[in-house]
Amino acid sequence: MEARPPLRFSTHGVPEVARGQALRTLRGRGLLPVEPLPDAVPAVELVKWRLPGASVLSGRFCGVRQIGDPGTGGAPDDLFFGINLAGPGLARQRGREVVVDGGDAMVVGLHDGPFTVLRPVVSRMIGVRVPRSGVPARTEADLAAAVRLVPAPAPALQLLTRYLRSVLDGPVPSGELADTVVDHVTELIPLSPGVPADFPTAASSVRAARLQSIKADIACNLPDPALSATSVAARHGISTRYLHRLFEDDGRTFSRFVLDQRLELVHRRLRNPRFTTNTITAIARGAGFTDPSYFSRAFRRRYTATPTDVRRAEQIGDG
């Protein structure tokens, strides 16, 4: 099954008096699992990805109740893992209440019955819903536990949060890539404290997710000439040696990966009409190159053409 187009919704532009009914209508259609709180002016801005074997809901919420039950687009054996990026929430299920602060997460199994999360003030969250069926729990206690808290300091939670944010910043994955994303997410979830043994874990998937998060970090910081393995490793809470090992196992050194990404960025911009007024030196500097001679040599080795040749070929093609 292929990934479907994302569902996007925002109350921005919807009159305050009409927001509650708009949310109730979408909930009635099984599209969005939120409803307005009594006497509150709801504010919602979200996107919902529907991938093969998982759905990912992310956005900003205020004055609403998030609802989890089989009627919100899932199945009775689904498991929901919600990360509060900012702001508080109060999760309730089967008489148990858990306060989820900014940075915390919660895990809920729909086999335990419906759950709700009250979001009376502004909060931001990422929620993942995946099937639990076919993945046996190890103990009866796992099946009996209601909503559980995953505290913010959990390293696996921090890694999963970075991974999801990097994925959500890109286009909706499809095909084999969508399957890979779902595999990584389901294999990272059980590493967090408080999560029952409902899923198998795989060290290779953890490493792959960490590497993707690091690559997304690098892509965001390419213009910084001070970008280094030491600075990237520090941001991700790992040693520089471990970072180098991740890249070597992936088939390229850290330095080679950064150089390739910078060259690809320059190549794209040379062919982009929006950058026709920029000098080649400025474009190279914007990709993090500080030495024009080194840049020119590296570019020619990579593309067997000079930057001027690439720009001229694009202009001739447009003409």
Residue 241 lies in a domain: no
Residue 245 lies in a domain: no
- Phi then psi for 11, rounded to 5 degrees? -85, -5
In this structure, the answer to whether residues 305 and 166 fall within a common structural domain is: no
Report pLDDT for 133: 52
Q: Which of 8-17, 201-210, 258-267 has the lowest mean pLDDT?
A: 201-210
pLDDT, one tens digit per residue, over 294-306 is 999 999 999 999 9
Judge residue 264's burial from the number of C-beta atoms within 10 Å of its C-beta, 0-12 exposed, 13-18 middle, 19 or more buried: middle
Cα separation, 106 vs 79, whole angstroms: 11
Cross-strand partners of 98: 91
Which pTM value belongs to this model?
0.60
The torsion angle over the Cα atoms of residues 245, 247, 253 and 254, rounded to 10 degrees, is: -100
Q: How far is CA 46 from CA 16, 100, 275, 286, in A?
A: 17, 19, 32, 32
Report pLDDT for 291: 95
DSSP 3-state assignment of 215? helix
Residue 233 lies in a domain: no
Contact 164, 56 (CB under 8 A): yes
In this structure, the answer to whether residues 151 and 271 fall within a common structural domain is: no
In this structure, the answer to whether residues 135 and 205 fall within a common structural domain is: yes
Examine the pLDDT at 189 and tell me if it is beyond 80. no
Report pLDDT for 67: 85
Q: Which of 122-136, 149-163, 164-178 has the lowest mean pLDDT?
A: 122-136
Between 152 and 241, the more confident residue is: 241
Q: What angle do CA 26, 28, 30 make, to 5 degrees?
A: 75
Residue 237 lies in a domain: no
- Looking at 169, 200, 221, the residue that finishes a domain is 221
The two three-digit tokens of residue 243, written as one number: 């970072």
Cα separation, 299 vs 314, whole angstroms: 16
Cα separation, 205 vs 185, whole angstroms: 9
- Number of domains observed in the structure of the chain: 2
Q: Which among 80, 43, 93 is positioned nearest to 64, based on CA atoms?
A: 43
pLDDT, one tens digit per residue, over 266-286 is 998 898 887 888 899 999 998
DSSP 3-state assignment of 282? helix
Average pLDDT, the chain: 80
Q: Which among 254, 242, 160 is positioned nearest to 205, based on CA atoms?
A: 160
Contact 43, 15 (CB under 8 A): no
Domain of 208, CATH number, reads 2.60.120.10
Q: For a pLDDT cut of 70, what percent of the chain falls above it?
A: 84
- Looking at 176, 201, 221, the residue that finishes a domain is 221
Per-residue pLDDT band for 146 (boundaries 50, 70, 90) equals low
In this structure, the answer to whether residues 77 and 211 fall within a common structural domain is: yes
Domain residues for 284?
252-318
Q: Which of 101-105, 189-193, 238-242, 262-266 has the lowest mean pLDDT?
A: 189-193
Report pLDDT for 301: 95
Examine the pLDDT at 135 and tell me if it is beyond 50. no
Q: At what angle do helices 203-221 and 175-188 cross, to 10 degrees?
A: 110
Residue 88 lies in a domain: yes
In this structure, the answer to whether residues 212 and 269 fall within a common structural domain is: no
Residue 227 lies in a domain: no
The two three-digit tokens of residue 27, written as one number: 């909930």
Cα separation, 64 vs 127, whole angstroms: 15
The two three-digit tokens of residue 266, written as one number: 């320059």
Long-range pairs of 140-145 with CB within 8 A, sequence gap ≥ 24 = 141/196, 142/196, 142/197, 142/198, 143/109, 143/111, 145/109, 145/112, 145/196
pLDDT, one tens digit per residue, over 25-79 is 888 887 788 888 887 888 999 988 888 878 888 999 988 888 887 655 556 678 8
Q: Which of 4-8, 181-185, 254-258 has the lowest mean pLDDT?
A: 181-185
In this structure, the answer to whether residues 163 and 278 fall within a common structural domain is: no
